Structure 1
Amino acid sequence: MEFSLSNALVVAKDAAVRAGRILDEMLLTASVREKGPKDLVTDADIAAQKEIESVLLTAFPDHVFIGEESGLELGAHGLADEPSTREEGPWTWVVDPLDGTANYVHRLPNFAVSIALVRGDTVWIGVVYDPISRELFSAVRGEGADLNGAAIRASGCHRMEDAMVAVSFPPEVHRDSPEVEQFLNVLEQSQSIRRLGSAALNLCYVAAGRLDAYWANRLKPWDVAAGALIVEEAGAVLSNLCGDQTTIWRGEYLAVASLELQQLMIQALGT
């Protein structure tokens, strides 16, 4: 297939829906193992990733593919280098075949397929598919974000006391971890706080106005690449926890519905 962003978006959506179908079909039968402490993987993750890789690389065989279950170090393609030393590089698909594996294992319906097309530090396409709700979030850089074809926008919320906020904790978190103190501060100041279990969907929910803010300290590129573009294209503000520019290759993310709320969140997080 001839490469264009519009063609790539069509292929990415197809791959996401196909993978979602696999996740749906294997929901009751998937076997589970631990990759690390409290870090789960199922054979559904593997099957979904194989399907995504096949669809994407059949269409665009000269592209690079990085999936959570590939067993690759991020540096294998020079992608973890500092941005100042990295040139544009190849078109690269960054994929999480099952974001929210713990939810999936427990049959809690909050998990998704995440597919992004990246070049250098720039995400050009983002697709996140929830196979339970059949919600397909997508964005192309500069063209806005949509949900099942209808445009979405962030809520514009600008007061902490009105804000519904979500957080992601890493697999291993202790009572003296900074995430816990941050959680308590935001819990005290916000209207409500949630830990939903899928970074990709959290970002999409900020984009769609269902959440007003979301933060995380230690995420992987495949967790956030697609959602990061979707949330920005929906008019939300994306930064690190200090309010500075971030990229998908770094682990800190703060997505908020407005600049005013961003400053309040930064104060609450104590960064």
Structure 2
Amino acid sequence: MQNEINIPIILDAVRKIGNSFLKDYKQNSIPQSMNELLKQLEDIDTLCLASLKEDLSLEFPNTPWHIGDEFDTDSQRNPSQEYEYWLCDAMDGAIQYLQQMPGWTINLVLIRGGKPFFSVIYDPLANEMFWAKEGEGAFMNGNALKLSFKTDLAIMLAVFEYGHQDKSNNNLNEKIGSTVSKLLDNFGIVRNYGPHGLQLAYVGAGRIDLFIQEDLDTYNWIAGLMIAREAGAEILTADGNPWKWGSESLLVAGKSITEKYLSIKS
């Protein structure tokens, strides 16, 4: 198995399909029924996957493809048994795209040995390409990413997210509410933006100071958490333990900021 990969080919493939979606952005009517919504989401997945498979088939002829279905809670608890495969979130933030709002990206991750080896997140609206390779750092449009170095919580931007798993019988709504209250009580700026992976890449870029989520959302996280990690961020669970595939919460920030957050009394 080759350690070196042709990064420009991967980036070009992701940029191509992202720019294709950009041409059609706001050109279709906003879905007004569940059937319309599901059909348009399916069309996005089909078009994105077909384009990426075609453009990467020569370079990776034997690498299988998996769709990261964030609605499938059980499948997110463990990586596939295959040594190498592509994990594709065809469009992170597809709801924003269909609602004609910013905040949608193309995310792609190469998994090796049960962990991300290479990941890319492309934001066509901003023309920003974030990517990272294991042990080699994280970049945006060719520039190395740098974490926030703020020390004052009053000027920090914290974001919270939530996934699609059932929250009716596991106290998740209460836990999420408690976490949001903790952020509001202690951080100067608190937001919920939408595309999970892009927000994690923004942690790596120093645009967001802290990201936290209180439920299982591996497929939405995996591309962005690798970029944040390679930029130097700590990847933890919400209670401060090391994050691993299948963990049911995520806390990402620079070490000094995670320490500040974890020291706050609930």
Give the deviation of 1:226 after TM superposition.
1.6
- The one-letter amino acid of 1:115's match is L
TM-score, normalization by structure 2: 0.84
Report the alpha carbon displacement of residue 151 of structure 1 after superposing the two structures with TM. Answer: 1.0
- What pairs up with 1:1-271 in 2 under 5 angstroms? 3-7=2-6, 9-27=7-25, 28-29=27-28, 32=31, 34=34, 41=41, 43-68=43-68, 80-81=77-78, 89-171=82-164, 176-257=173-254, 259-268=255-264, 270=266
State the secondary structure of the residue aligned to 2:41. Answer: strand
Q: Please, which runs of 5 or more residues in structure 1 have no aligned partner?
A: none
Is the 1:110–1:197 Cα contact (8 Å) retained in structure 2? Answer: yes
Query: How many Å separate the matches in 1 of 2:178 and 2:185?
Result: 11
Q: TM-score, normalised by structure 1?
A: 0.82
* 3-state SS in 2 of match to 1:156: coil
Give 3-state SS (helix, strand or coil) of 1:6's partner.
coil
Cα contact 1:157–1:163 (8 A) shared by 2: yes
Question: Residue 170 of structure 1 aligns to which amino acid in structure 2?
Answer: G
Residues in 1 aligned to 2:58 and 2:70: alpha-carbon distance in whole angstroms: 17
Alpha-carbon distance in 2 for matches of 1:177, 1:72? 22
SS of the residue corresponding to residue 170 of structure 1 reads coil
Does the C-alpha gap of structure 1 residues 21 and 236 become closer, same or farther in structure 2, counting only changes over 3 Å?
same
CA distance in 1, matches of 2:54, 2:73: 20
Residues in 1 aligned to 2:71 and 2:177: alpha-carbon distance in whole angstroms: 30
How far 1:93 moved relative to its partner?
1.1
Find runs of 4+ consecutive structure 1 residues off by over 4 angstroms.
Answer: 30-35, 69-75, 171-176, 267-270
Alignment partners' CA distance in 2, 1:91 and 1:236: 25
What SS does the aligned partner of 1:59 have? coil
Q: CA offsets, 1:124-183, max 9 Å, x none? A: 111100011110001111111111001111112344323101111234768953112211
Q: Which of 127-136 and 117-126 deviates more? A: 117-126
- RMSD over aligned CA atoms reads 3.2
Task: Decide whether aligned partners of structure 1 residues 221 and 66 sit closer, same or farther in structure 2, where only a CA change above 3 A counts.
Answer: farther
Which residue type is aligned with residue 145 of structure 1? A
* Matching residue's letter, 1:21: N
Is there any run of 5+ residues in structure 2 with no aligned partner, and where?
A: none
Aligned residues: 258
Question: Identity percentage over the alignment?
Answer: 21
Shift of 1:122: 2.2
